Amino acid sequence: MPRPDWTPHRRDDGELLGWIHPEGDAWIAVDVLGRAASDATEWLDAEAALEEHGISWLADPWMLEGEGNRPLRVRILEVTPDDDGAPGRIVVKVDDFGDVSRPPTSQYVLPWPVPERLRPPTSADPDPRVF
């Protein structure tokens, strides 16, 4: 668990969706990347925010800045949150578009919680299929 006052919240199948932690008299939901998934709210609303947020977005493409002259399109391979004083990590790899016949792509290990340089793609990002 990332912090002693964070309570894990899991789906019915046991998969971790994130945590809920106190914020004054309210509660905040935090997703598995360590980002706020709700504003300060009631406990049940924080749970609902995590349920609605889900984890399917982890399989989406992401953009990693700072490793080249333009952002790299990457996929998340691993998310390991901080645990009992041990630092967590996020492992991403350059998107291979599912081509199993090509050589392995570069991997990058980032700190947890997610750094700002790992972000969802925008319409302003370069087309990753153009070299």
Kindly state the percentage of the chain with pLDDT values over 70.
Answer: 97
Integer Cα distance of 65 and 9 in angstroms: 30
Per-residue pLDDT tens digits for 15-55 = 999 999 999 999 999 999 999 999 999 999 999 999 999 99
Average per-residue pLDDT in the chain? 92
pLDDT attached to residue 62: 96
Residue spans per domain, the chain: 7-55, 60-119
Q: What amino acid is encoded at 53 in this protein?
A: H
In 7-130, alpha helices (H): 43-53
In this prediction the pTM is: 0.87
Q: Which of 14, 12, 9 lies closest to 30, judged by CA?
A: 9
At residue 131 the predicted structure's pLDDT band, cuts being 50, 70 and 90, is: low
Tell me whether the omega of the peptide bond preceding residue 128 falls within 30 degrees of 0, making it cis: no
Task: Please say whether the beta carbons of 20 and 7 come within 8 A.
Answer: yes
Identify the pLDDT of residue 32: 96
pLDDT digits (tens, 9 = 90+) for 84-104: 778 999 999 999 887 888 888
Are 21 and 29 a contacting pair, CB within 8 Å? Answer: no
Tell me which residue of 18, 11, 38 sits closest to 27, measured CA to CA. Answer: 38
